[in-house]
Structure 1
């Protein structure tokens, strides 16, 4: 097996030495997005105590610097089937100054540990006016603006032990898992239209989109937009993991052009839309935390 400079195997061995047998081969990994880390608190400890590792303690890991992202891995048994699961409470972002290899390193380690399914959650802004704040978007596809511009986590020598040089991305979000997501929402009595399929646009951040950029993203087919998820998803697909993406819509993205300063303009003036704020993202995430936790836990029970 080739030498990998990013420390995948150092972290893998670190966990193997410290995890009890029941938790040493998790089947499901969950990446918890902005304000959605409470899922780890719902792990059942009646059979086996959960085990937590701060990112700073793990070889190769870096710290999460974003408000709402705690920064720890939690291993435990989740749901009525006691499924061995690892929760990534707080993720890394490209805009924090980390390389995409650093951002996606945990996914490689999940693969080495035996993970078969990756559930990725995030918070997003709605480009599609059919969406509402509080909706849960079930991802069907994505558009990676950084990837198209030359920032892809698979750049560089291919890691042949994980996957092929040119992995297809046409079906990156597993259909059967999406079916289970809607089944789980129905069993939890989510209202009509509370869950919608969506195309996710990945942008680099940390600045929010201009109105012109937002209109462009909507024009090219984006339903929602955010600053995470896609790098991890690409690496998960390259590694042969099944992927489910869930996004909590926390704000409506401003699309209108606004008023013109040109006195000769004949364009009707449009009312200004509110500017997005990270505090708003955290507020909506907190309000919907229980729903998201119940949804993900139910999906895990159905897998």
Structure 2
């Protein structure tokens, strides 16, 4: 991603804000209600930010929302944009780089995902401890600017162990019952075939989705610590022998929203 574009986008967002955020949160499909809990809210539409695309998917409001949560300065992406919407992979990194320049040191990335692990059930929350990039593309391909990050970032601790431990502590202390596992990204927008899900399970995937990995790679690239949380909205293809659709994703997200809010709010309190 060109530094000049990042700076242009950052300058616009910064001009609309009155605080320095320390925590960033990316809200996935159907999980955007968490932004309603922010105090002293400022809303910035993606479409108003230079170089930013807009989100076209139902359940994604398409805006930055900054404010206070548990007394901490937070900026949220209320919805994201995706590779399958036709966006270049490098463009998916832009919001993360903007947040880093604003002052974000820690990032919570959330998504709606299909369960591959057969011990999961719809409505489970999964703490991501690693990922598999089956998009076969990468937001860092192209010229690297050392002012943003190193040419060859180390991904061996992409999901920060200290933040994972905080999430586990909150899960146990508040009866969340969060699972833990590996998130596997495919490009979408079609849901996976049963054969692809069998392959993903053999490779070690516990949940599958169409986002998150590019943002995590960008965050690691620019030095932000990451915590990932998947909301298991359905079982992946072939497990329950039923058709998959986005309506089910939204319905399950709505069903689990209170548990999700409690989980994230209390994680933020301990970060």
Q: What's the TM-score once normalised by structure 1's chain length? A: 0.87
Give the Å deviation of 1:294.
1.4
- 1:128 and 2:117 equivalent? yes
Which residue number in structure 2 is paired with residue 143 of structure 1? 132
Once the two structures are overlaid, the 10-residue window that deviates more, 7-16 or 90-99, is: 7-16
Which residue number in structure 1 is paired with residue 28 of structure 2? 33
Counterparts of 1:294 and 1:159, CA distance in 2: 38
Choose 1 or 2 for highest CA Rg.
1
Task: Kindly provide the CA deviation profile for residues 15-43 of structure 1, in whole angstroms up to 9, marking residues without a partner as x.
Answer: 222211xx2x2000000000000111011
Which residue number in structure 1 is paired with residue 72 of structure 2? 83
- Superposed, which structure 2 residues align to 1:1-303 within 5 Å? 4-5=3-4, 7-20=5-18, 23=19, 25-44=20-39, 49-79=40-70, 82-146=71-135, 149=136, 151-190=137-176, 194-255=177-238, 273-303=241-271
Once the two structures are overlaid, the 10-residue window that deviates more, 231-240 or 126-135, is: 126-135
Give the Å deviation of 1:55.
0.8
Counterparts of 1:15 and 1:127, CA distance in 2: 38
Task: Kindly provide the CA deviation profile for residues 129-171 of structure 1, in whole angstroms up to 9, marking residues without a partner as x.
Answer: 011111110001000012xx3x110000112112111111111
Give the Å deviation of 1:240.
0.5
Task: Kindly provide the CA deviation profile for residues 58-114 of structure 1, in whole angstroms up to 9, marking residues without a partner as x.
Answer: 1111110001001010010111xx110001000010000001122120000011111
What is the RMSD of the two structures over their aligned residues, measured on CA atoms?
1.4
Counterparts of 2:134 and 2:84, CA distance in 1: 13
Counterparts of 1:254 and 1:155, CA distance in 2: 31
Once the two structures are overlaid, the 10-residue window that deviates more, 247-256 or 102-111, is: 247-256
Q: Any stretches of 5+ residues in structure 2 without a counterpart?
A: none
Counterparts of 1:3 and 1:159, CA distance in 2: 7
Q: Any stretches of 5+ residues in structure 1 without a counterpart?
A: 257-271
Counterparts of 2:79 and 2:14, CA distance in 1: 22
Pairs aligned (count): 271
Q: What's the TM-score once normalised by structure 2's chain length? A: 0.97
Asked if 1 retains the 8 angstrom alpha-carbon contact of 2:16 and 2:44, the reply is no
Counterparts of 2:8 and 2:230, CA distance in 1: 32
Cα distance change, pair 209–53 in 1 and its aligned pair in 2 (3 A): same
Q: Which secondary structure does the structure 2 equivalent of 1:288 belong to?
A: helix
Task: Kindly provide the CA deviation profile for residues 174-212 of structure 1, in whole angstroms up to 9, marking residues without a partner as x.
Answer: 11101111111223222xxx3111100000000001111
Q: Which secondary structure does the structure 1 equivalent of 2:264 belong to?
A: helix
